[in-house]
């Protein structure tokens, strides 16, 4: 039986990433890719993504937008915590990348379980390219995706296979 700390380091793939009671704790020198994008959910060991939902049409936006881009409502959207589950809709292997990223990471479109019309773009991590398959079930995990020139580490949301047999720690993702 794994201890919680061993489980979380396997889950995130980062021994220095801290998750406590479902909340991501950033160390000095680490920053989230977007402010307030991760949310704590009682009873869950990992953080969840924070989206926003329109009060008028019900559209869910991620990344979160203050006002609805679908119906152009003048009313502010409300926070909506997403599940960490999704399905792979499509993907590509990034061979030519922006400065600061290593080539050959897998960039994916993930249909979220909460709303199949909500597609989140994220890196796949801990999976070999040959194990990636359309419609595979995925789980969101926070990961360090790059180091800035000033030495800060950027933590983002990535997805990994839900099936433990498909998880290969350290494969597929842009992590240090």
* pLDDT tens digit sequence for 115-163: 889 999 999 999 999 999 999 999 999 988 888 888 888 899 999 999 9
Work out the number of other CB atoms within 10 angstroms of the CB of residue 104: 12
Spell out the residues 6+ positions from residue 119 whose beta carbon is closer than 8 angstroms to its own. 89, 109, 110, 111, 112
Residue whose tokens read 């398959």? 133
Q: Does pLDDT of 7 surpass 80?
A: no
pLDDT bracket for residue 19 (50, 70, 90): confident
Distance CA 17, CA 9 (A): 7
Q: What is the pTM of this model?
A: 0.83
Residue 98 tokens, joined = 């922006």
């Amino acid at each position: 039986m794994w201890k919680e700390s061993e489980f979380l380091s396997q889950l995130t793939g980062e021994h220095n990433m801290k998750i406590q009671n479902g909340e991501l704790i950033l160390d000095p020198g680490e920053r989230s890719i977007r402010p307030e994008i991760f949310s704590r959910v009682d009873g869950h060991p990992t953080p969840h993504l924070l989206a926003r939902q329109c009060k008028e049409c019900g559209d869910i936006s991620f990344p979160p937008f203050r006002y609805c881009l679908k119906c152009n409502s003048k009313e502010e959207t409300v926070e909506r915590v997403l599940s960490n589950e999704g399905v792979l809709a499509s993907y590509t292997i990034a061979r030519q990348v922006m400065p600061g990223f290593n080539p050959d990471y897998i960039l994916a479109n993930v249909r979220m379980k909460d709303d199949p019309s909500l597609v989140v773009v994220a890196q796949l991590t801990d999976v070999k390219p040959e194990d990636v398959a359309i419609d595979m079930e995925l789980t969101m995990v926070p990961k360090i995706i790059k180091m800035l020139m000033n030495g800060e580490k950027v933590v983002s949301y990535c997805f990994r296979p839900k099936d433990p047999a498909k998880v290969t720690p350290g494969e597929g993702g842009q992590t240090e």
